Structures are given as structure tokens and as C-alpha cells.
């Protein structure tokens, strides 16, 4: 029997598969398809201090090997999430949860972390400083080592659970930002978020997205994600959750060979609602082919 279990900052997961924030809602949407308790964990929809309607439409555009999104962190706000979404999720999902948090000021990050760290089922706080879709502080915090460190220090001061900082690929040197977060006290890192992209409607002679630019995700970004995870895991000692274009069990193993301790599956859920289930089912088969007994024993190449 293959051992799929992994551990992130003392939090044991049955397997390394975590649906990525923004692609899985609060879990309810996937209940008609399969028992979501087969997942290792679940990173719920990015949450801000106040409710957000998000960016104007259209905010999705198809691309070769992926998609562009400019949703803009649409969410009901942290208080509603705690009062309504998490209790409902608890009824159907009985495993550790990753709370994905976004913000436009350090105070907002701190406010959300302070509230969500008290939730029993939340075991990891994933602080997103990398969203390229929102006009505001999010992008700026993720593109400067100093700013990334300042957010990390502030949220660590109020967090009682492990803090993972989610990094942007839209930078010249992701390693320097990763190291700054580690030095500021981050317990782990999540990478990568979406790459900044754009599409133009030839007939209308206008950008397809109302926001003009958006985040590119899907299989097309997988080699970039593998490269960045490999670079970062070679430079820091804290664990990394790898993501970006993962859609198969072999992708999972490749990302773990790049140094990731667990993975998140994003755009694949929007193409195939059974993506995470199929990946979990295929993992033991691919492990057998590759002579891997325990995923946790995979070494960085």
C-alpha cells in the first residue's frame, strides 16, 4: 500500500492534494461530484476584511493551455465566512482547512488573520500577497522583499497557526522575496500564483477582460511554476506548497521532485470537477511505476 501522507508545519494530511483558493469556493460546489473528504486539505476562497463584489465583467478569457481570470477577490468578507461558510463546511468536510487571506493594507491582513486563527478547523493561514487582479496593495506587497517581510512580521505577531505566504511569479527575483518572508518568520510558502496576461478581441478591437489584464493559470504555466519552486526550495528551509498548472498525478510528483511538500490544484478544477479526485486515485499507480513507496520521502532533484 502506497503512503500518500505528507506533513506541513506539523499538520498531517492524508495526501498532498489541496484545491487552490478561488477554484473550489468553500467546498459546497463540489459536493454533488464526490466526497470531498478524500482531499488532503482545502484552501477556501480568498477572504478579505470586507465583502467584495469583485471586478467588472467580463472577467474570464480562454487561452491556449489555460485561462485568464480577473475575478478580483469576490468574497462575502471574513465575518460572514466565519459565521456562515465555515460552519457549513464543517458539516461536510472533516479535515484541516487552509484559510486563504488577502488584503490591501497590513491592518487588513492582521484583522483577518486575528479572526481566522481562532477557528478550530483552520490549521494553516495562507496569506496571499500576490494577486495580480486587484487595484490596490495586493500586488505591491508581493513584489518587494521589504513589503513582503513587513506583512509577514505583522501577521505572525497575531497568528497562533502556521503562516504560509503566497508568492507572486510576476517578479524579477522570487528567491529574494521568499528569503525575506522566511527571515520575517513565515512558517512556509505557497507558489506560484497566476502570471499576468492579456487577450484582445480582434473583432471588437478591445481587450477581452474589462480589467484589461488578468491572471493566467492552467497547464501552460506549469514549467514556470516548477522552475520557481525549485529555485525557492533550494534557498529556504521552510516548507513550500507548489502550484501552477498541476492537472495530473505525474505533475504532482514532478512538483514534489522540485522540492514541494504538498501541492494545490487550481484551474484544473474549473475544467474538470473531478480533477482532484482523479489525481488522488492515480497517485498510487504513478508511484508504483516510479518505485516510490512514500510521497513524503521524495527528494528534491
Query: What sign does the dihedral 32-37-43-48 (CA atoms) show?
Result: positive
Within 10 angstroms of residue 10's Cβ, the number of other Cβ atoms is 10
Q: How far apart are CA 146 and CA 62, in angstroms?
A: 35
Identify whether 276 is a catalytic site residue.
no
Q: How far apart are CA 151 and CA 207, in angstroms?
A: 33
Q: How far apart are CA 182 and CA 206, in angstroms?
A: 42
Do the beta carbons of residue 87 and residue 35 sit within 8 Å? no
**Residue 266, C-beta contacts closer than 8 angstroms, at least 6 positions apart:** 19, 20, 22, 23, 217, 243, 244, 246
Which residues are 43's β-sheet partners?
98
Spot the catalytic one: 112, 131, 181, 276. Answer: 131
Within 10 angstroms of residue 135's Cβ, the number of other Cβ atoms is 10
Q: How far apart are CA 4 and CA 257, in angstroms?
A: 14
Positions annotated as catalytic residues are: 131
Amino acid at each position: 500500500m502506497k503512503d500518500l501522507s505528507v506533513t506541513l508545519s506539523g499538520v498531517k494530511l492524508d495526501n498532498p492534494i489541496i484545491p487552490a483558493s478561488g477554484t473550489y469556493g468553500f467546498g459546497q460546489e463540489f459536493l454533488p461530484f464526490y466526497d470531498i473528504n478524500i482531499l488532503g486539505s482545502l484552501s477556501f476562497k480568498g477572504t478579505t476584511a470586507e465583502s467584495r463584489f469583485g471586478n467588472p465583467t467580463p472577467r474570464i478569457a480562454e487561452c491556449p493551455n489555460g485561462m485568464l481570470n480577473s475575478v478580483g477577490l469576490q468574497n462575502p468578507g471574513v465575518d460572514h465566512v466565519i459565521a456562515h461558510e465555515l460552519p457549513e463546511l464543517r458539516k461536510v468536510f472533516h479535515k484541516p482547512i487552509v484559510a486563504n487571506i488577502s488584503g490591501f493594507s497590513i491592518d487588513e491582513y492582521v484583522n483577518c488573520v486575528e479572526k481566522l486563527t481562532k477557528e478550530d478547523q483552520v490549521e494553516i493561514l495562507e496569506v496571499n500577497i500576490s494577486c495580480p487582479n486587484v487595484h490596490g496593495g495586493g500586488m505591491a506587497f508581493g513584489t518587494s522583499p521589504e513589503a513582503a517581510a513587513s506583512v509577514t512580521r505583522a501577521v505572525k505577531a497575531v497568528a497562533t497557526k502556521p503562516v504560509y505566504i503566497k508568492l507572486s511569479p510576476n517578479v524579477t527575483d522570487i528567491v529574494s522575496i521568499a528569503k525575506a518572508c522566511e527571515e520575517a518568520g513565515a512558517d512556509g510558502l505557497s507558489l506560484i500564483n497566476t502570471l499576468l496576461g492579456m487577450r484582445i478581441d480582434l473583432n471588437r478591437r478591445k481587450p477581452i477582460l474589462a480589467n484589461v489584464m488578468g491572471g493566467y493559470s492552467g497547464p501552460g504555466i506549469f514549467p514556470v511554476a516548477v522552475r520557481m519552486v525549485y529555485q525557492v526550495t533550494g534557498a529556504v528551509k521552510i516548507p513550500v506548497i507548489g502550484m501552477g498548472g498541476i492537472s495530473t498525478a505525474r505533475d504532482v510528483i514532478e512538483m514534489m521532485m522540485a522540492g514541494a511538500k504538498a501541492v494545490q490544484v487550481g484551474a484544473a478544477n474549473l475544467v474538470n470537477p473531478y480533477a482532484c479526485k482523479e489525481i488522488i486515485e492515480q497517485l498510487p499507480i504513478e508511484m508504483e511505476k516510479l518505485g516510490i513507496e512514500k510521497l513524503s520521502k521524495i527528494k528534491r532533484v
